[in-house]
Amino acid sequence: MTALRFDGWIAGVGTAGGTRLVLGHWPRSPFGPVSDVMLERPDGHRLLLAGTPALAEFVAATYRFDDVQVVAVSVVRSGTNWAVDAGPLRLRFATGRRGLLGGLLRCVPPVVARHPWWIAAIDRPARLLQPGVRTHGSAGNGRHEWYGVQDLHRITAATATWDGTDLGGLTDVDPPVRFGFGSTPRAPSLARVTTRITM
């Protein structure tokens, strides 16, 4: 069994127009520093924007999409402000202080937070606290995914445009996204994550 590790951040944002966005920003991954954005439109159409062909192929084989595009993906972080450019998408968001859950996650030593037995142990509490959220589960092509979350911040402001058209103000990620076995938290948030995929 091969295990691949992605270390970075996942951000989940809802828009008033109904599009939900999930950013994966991975400074350390099997593909080098990479980023991708998953979108689900109001009509349920699921789209992947990936920075490299290899990443696009891997992510598309792990999750479910109706369309996949390889585009230049730029992620710039300045303090609590993030700027994401991915083909026709422009996303800007800002994070606030971590809440109680983020504080609790920070108390767990990273080596423990990343371990599969810990991730499995907190799956049920995570589902109770954050409906739609799963810490591990079966992915595509016989793969299994483990999310070792180590921090969580609320996203307090966001703007998003597609080909220059405003997607609407910041809202909850509702309904949950349907790319894989679980969604991001309903409240817009940024998670510090180590993702482990076995295949």
Residues 20, 164 contacting (CB under 8 angstroms): no
Q: What is the DSSP letter of 56?
A: H
pLDDT at 128: 84
Helix residue spans in the chain (DSSP H): 53-62, 100-107, 110-113, 116-121, 123-129
Domain that holds residue 185: 3-198
Q: What is the CA radius of gyration of the chain?
A: 16
Q: What is the CATH number of the domain that holds 85?
A: 2.40.400
pLDDT at 127: 83
pLDDT at 42: 97
pLDDT at 167: 98
Q: Find where tokens 């996942």 sit.
A: 10
| CA dist., res. 112 & res. 119, Å (int) | 9
| CA dist., res. 21 & res. 68, Å (int) | 14
Mean pLDDT by 10 residues, the chain (199 residues): 93 98 97 97 98 96 97 97 98 94 89 92 86 87 93 97 97 95 93 94
Number of independent structural domains in the chain = 1
User: Quick one: CA torsion of 4, 148, 95, 41, rounded to 10 degrees?
Assistant: 60
Helix residue spans in 51-190 (DSSP H): 53-62, 100-107, 110-113, 116-121, 123-129
